[in-house]
Each structure stands twice: as C-alpha cells, then as structure tokens.
Amino acid sequence: MSLRLETIRECLEGIIPGHIATCDRAGMPNLAYLSQVEFIDNEHVALSYQFFNRTRQNVLADSPVRLLLTSHLTAAQYRLTLHYLRTEAAGPLFERMRAKLAGIASHTGMSGIFQLLGADIYRVLSIEQVPGETVPPPPPPVNCLNALRRTVDRLATCSTLECLLEKAVDCLEKEFGIAHLMLLMHDEARGRLYTLASRGYPESGIGSEIPVGAGVIGICARERTPIRIGFANSEYAYGRTVRDGIAADGQGDALETAIPLPGLPDAASQMAVPISVAGRLLGVLYVESATDLHFGYDEEDALVTFAAQLGLAIVHHQQADDLPDEPAASEEAAPAVAGRPLTIRHFAATESVFIDDDYLIKGVAGAILWVLLSDFAERRRTSFTNKGLRVDPRIRLPGVSDNLEARLVLLQRRLDERDAGIRLTKTGRGRFSLAVDHPLQLLES
Amino acid sequence: MLDSDNAAFIQTGVSISLAACSGDRMPSMSRGLGCKLIDGGRQIAIFVKRSQSAELLENIRNSGRVANVFNLPSSNRTLQLKGDDAQIRPFDPADLPVIESHLPQFLEEVIPFGMPENMVRALLAYTVDDLVTVVYSPNAAFTQTPGPKAGDPLGTAA
C-alpha cells in the first residue's frame, strides 16, 4: 500500500462526509453517505452501523466495499477498497465511536436519529488518490510532536509527585496551547475520579468527583480508551450525568457534590485520555474547547503518549514516597500559638472535615487530615511520613493501590485554596510537615 | 419516476455522486459536477471528470447500471436514483451553464459549515475537455435522508 492511512486521517473526521459504494448480488450498485469512519490502524477502519440499510445488506452479502473520502484541508479525494471483517457492539472502539457520533448527530440536527448499533470493522486493501486539483493545507495550530518532546523534557526535571502533576497541567496549557483542562485521579476502591489539578476555569474544582462510567471522562475511565467528540452535544455533557448518578449513591460513600466539577458550560470539543500503567488506571486527562473540532487525531496521539509517560512518572514518584530514604527529622513540637481558634469538625461516617463550618474535604483525604490535626492537638506533632499514615489504624486506606501520595497532594491543595492557616509541606521523600497558625478546637460528630 | 419536487431538488446546490460496479461486484464512484433533466426528467444527465472516473466509466460501459446520490448539506435531504441503461456521451459545451450555475449554489450550501471557498473550488475544478456526460433513465428512487424512512422507495422499483 503506497499511501499510509495515518497520513490522511483528516478525511475520516466526517467534515466532508465520505461515500460508501457497494453492490448487490444482482450487480446493482448502491451509494450512501457515511457519518463516521474511525481510524484503527493503517490496515483497519471502522464504520458506524446505524441502520439496517441496503449498504449493510450488500456488505453482509459479501459485496466488495469502496469509500470515497475527501480532505477538508486540501480537497484531495481518496478511494479506499475495504473488506468487511466483523461488527463490535460493545467495548472501547464501540464507545469511542458512539461518543463521536453523538457529537456529529447533534451538529447535523440528527440527535435521537443517529444511534450506533455497531462498529463495523474493515480491512483496508488499498488506497488510491483520485486525480484532481488540491490546495496546500493550512499550517496546524500546534506542532504536536514538538510540544510532546518539550513536555516530556520538562516532566523529567520533577522530583516529587506534586511537581509532576503541576508541570503536567502547565505543559498542556503552555506547550499544547490547551486553555481548559483537568487532571483527575482514579479512586479504585470507590469507582470514582477526583480532580487533582485544572486550568482555565473560574474555580479549580480540586476535590470534585465524577463516577467511573459517567460522561466523557467516566466512559474514558471505564473503557480505558480515549474519547474524543468534535461538536457540542447534550448526551455527553458530564455535569448532567454526574447529577443523574447521585441518586444511585449509597449514603456512606456519597459522591463529592459539595465541590462543583469545573467545566465549560458550552464545550464543543471534548477529549478524555486514560492514564494507565501495566493495565491499571491511574487517572484521566480531560481537555475541552468552545470551538468545534478543536482536537484531531494528532492531538489525540500526542496526549495518549503524554499520558503514558505521565503514568510511569506517577508510579515512580508514588513508589519513591513509600520508601523514605532520609533520616527521620527530629520531632520538633510546634510552639503554641495564640489568637482566635479554628473549629475543626469531623463526621466519622463520611470522614468529612469542616473548618469553621465550611466544608473542606471528605473520604480518605478527610480521614488523613483528622488524624494529622488530632496528633497536632494532642502532642503538637508536626512531622509525618507516608509510611506512618499507611499503617495508622485510624485511616482505613483501601489497600495497596491507595494513591496515598496523590491524596496528600489533593489535601494540600484544598488546604491552600481555603487559606485557613493549615498547611502541609513536603520535607523529603515520603515525609511532610504540618503547620497550623491558629489554636485548634476539634469536634467529633 | 421523478416528481416535480425531487426533480427540482436534484438541480439545487446538492452534492452529487455516481457509482457503478464491475462484473465481480467491485464498485467505483466519482463526484458529479452538475445534473440536467432530459425529457422532463425521464432521463438524467450527470457530468463527471473523465480523469477521475476511468473505472466508473468502464463499469458503466459494461453494465449500464448506476446508483446516483444527491445530498443537500443544509437539510441532510438525500435522494438516491438508480438506472440500468446508463450511457456515456461526449460532453456538449451547451451544457456548460448547468455546471457553472451549480458551483455557486453548492458554495452557498457548504460555506456556512466552515468550508474554505478555495478548497471547495479546487474540489469541483474542471477543464471542459476533461468532462464527460453519463445519461440514464431513473427506474428506482429512494429517500436516504437519515431517519425512520431512510431507504424507502419513492416510486415503483424496477
């Protein structure tokens, strides 16, 4: 095959709809428009199966298949010869196509009519360019490969998880020019994702949660596959799906709703990319834009590669923090402070912590904070280790894959945002200190 | 076969494509640059570029069977016509105004979708000596507008 499919992927986005031609057993041709062609690899594409129409009847009757695709960038046309292999009606590819189709349906006034019944997988037998006039493509807004290289260089300079996460979102913003984004971590035990960093929203939303399976982000997490949508649509608006999911929640393990999830109310382009290492989902990168078709295959490739690199680095830093290699700092008792006391209220059932009646955090991070502040109040203790927290019977960490270091970053950020005079500072590998500027009054509810 | 509404529709700023199959059922297709009704719609002429349509024209020569789709981007309205008596005729320069008037109508349709005009003009660019006319009598028509009625025949199928 002289032309590689990966070099003409813009033709698959459906901006200029493709055509599919088939032939029935009697030799009568049939021609139809395609909503969607999904790139799988250089030898395979998937077409959306939405209706049992003549095209499908012909395909199932062993018709050879031809596509005519057109680049909206250059006007170049390509004829592809395909051979039908099989149909998938569930799984990552199906969910990727279903999400993309929801955007296309909404954009073309076909919401409720376009429903994906299956992803038809074809082998690409040949690609030929149709002779004809073309125009030079406009320069891309970003050189994704170069942005990726600079990002990877910058991530390599970090020595802590906190630095890594901060650099990661910073690079997405500065190197890739992405204005609205979130980094969410996976809470395996609870089937949730919690926001650990964001850019481009009035409120950071750090600590906000989304259930696995809900909206673009949740489906990306459940299927462990990138989800990319090019047009505004209501079906995958995550705000609504989160609200819908709340009713199903158990009382003791309720979804974090006190902290609103950030997000563009009128997002047109959305992309969520899983961060996975060795088959384990660590989190999700989510980017969005108010303009249509803002993210293409190149951006998807770059972010998938970035997420793979970030995942390995997260695992590295978390493991390093589990093995403190520095001598224990001398246990310095904090000097007494005067002034107005802060009232810290703890609800054991949900591990929620309130500072002066304002909600701060709950769950594992809430339990950790309560233990830290209890030790501080009792013994003026300021120095702590990850290892110590992990064996502390007062904190019920959910097993080995607890993402303890990520939860500490979450807690640190929530405290910094609240600016209530309680701070966590990393003091070495697997070690941190607590600083409290006010007298504390601890109340257990 | 073709009512006046559909006859008018296929002469608006629609996207036009034409397909035919080889003896071993391999289909091929090309974009059309315009459409003309002959004898009140009893026959239809589609103009294609010879340089883009070698396989299509070969298939038409051998079988005479064609599938012809018209789609209006702004409404998704889509119509497929079929015929089994297609013939290839030299392009008659007297038909040039049909092609010349189709381009601005098509531009008006697709520019609101963000298509750059120079790209669309390149897509439909032609030289007169490269044009060829395919004429056939439609004997079946199907609505292909997405929805519950997609694929339904409009008239008596052959």
For A17-34, what is each residue's pLDDT tens digit? 999 999 999 999 999 998
Pairwise CB contact (< 8 Å): B21 & A28? yes
Residue B68, pLDDT score = 97
| pLDDT one-digit tens code per residue, B89-114 | 999 999 999 999 999 999 999 998 88
B67 close to A (CB below 8 A) = yes
Contact residues on chain A for B122, CB-CB shorter than 8 A: 74-75, 132-135
Cα-trace Rg, chain A: 26
Residue A267, pLDDT score = 87
Contact residues on chain B for A31, CB-CB shorter than 8 A: 17-19, 27, 29, 67-69, 80
Residue A324, pLDDT score = 64
Could you tell me how many CB contacts below 8 A there are between chain A and chain B? 125
Minimum Cα–Cα distance from A291: chain B residue: B114
Contact residues on chain A for B17, CB-CB shorter than 8 A: 19, 31, 68
Residue A306, pLDDT score = 97
Sign of the Cα torsion B115, B118, B119, B125 reads positive
Helix A161-174 vs helix A297-322: crossing angle, to nearest 10: 170
In the CATH scheme, what is the homologous superfamily, with its name and number, of domain A144-322?
GAF domain (3.30.450.40)
- Half-sphere exposure for A247 (CA within 13 Å, toward CB): 4
**A331 C-beta neighbours (distance < 10 Å), count:** 10
How far does Cα A198 stand from its chain's mean position?
Answer: 11
Measured in degrees and rounded to the nearest 5, phi and psi for residue A406 equal -65, -35
B62 close to A (CB below 8 A) = no
The ranges of chain A with pLDDT < 70 are 1, 237-254, 324-332, 399-401
Interface test with A, best of B48, B144, B154 (most A CBs within 10 A): B144
Contact residues on chain A for B49, CB-CB shorter than 8 A: 132
Residue B148, pLDDT score = 64
Pairwise CB contact (< 8 Å): B29 & A19? yes
B121 min Cα distance to partner chain A (Å):
9
What is the distance between the alpha carbons of residues B110 and A256, in angstroms, rounded to a whole number?
Answer: 45
What is the distance between the alpha carbons of residues A245 and A398, in angstroms, rounded to a whole number?
Answer: 22
Query: Residue A138 carries which DSSP code?
Result: P
Return mean pLDDT, chain A.
88
What pairs with residue A433 in β-bridges? A383, A425
Residue spans of the domains in chain B: they are 4-141
| pLDDT one-digit tens code per residue, B55-91 | 999 999 999 999 999 999 888 899 999 999 999 999 9
B153 close to A (CB below 8 A) = no
Pairwise CB contact (< 8 Å): A23 & B147? no
Fold of A5-130: Pnp Oxidase; Chain A (2.30.110)
Pairwise CB contact (< 8 Å): B123 & A31? no
Minimum Cα–Cα distance from B66: chain A residue: A29
Residue B19 amino acid letter: A
What is the distance between the alpha carbons of residues B133 and B155, in angstroms, rounded to a whole number?
Answer: 25
Pairwise CB contact (< 8 Å): B25 & A70? no
Q: How far is CA A313 from CA A177, A226, A309, A404, in A?
A: 22, 20, 6, 15
Interface test with A, best of B123, B127, B143 (most A CBs within 10 A): B123
| First-to-final CA distance of chain A | 70
What is the distance between the alpha carbons of residues A178 and A307, in angstroms, rounded to a whole number?
Answer: 15
- CB-nearest to A21 from B19, B65, B142 is B19
Residues 6+ apart with CB under 8 A from B8: none
Query: Residue B31 carries which DSSP code?
Result: E
Contact residues on chain B for A79, CB-CB shorter than 8 A: 28-29
Residue B158, pLDDT score = 34
B123 close to A (CB below 8 A) = yes
Query: Residue B153 carries which DSSP code?
Result: B
The CATH number for B4-141, chosen from 2.30.110.10, 2.60.40.3670, 3.90.870.10, 3.40.920.10, is 2.30.110.10
Fold of A342-444: Arc Repressor Mutant, subunit A (1.10.10)
B128 close to A (CB below 8 A) = no
- CB-nearest to A54 from B18, B146, B151 is B151
What is the distance between the alpha carbons of residues A251 and A239, in angstroms, rounded to a whole number?
Answer: 20
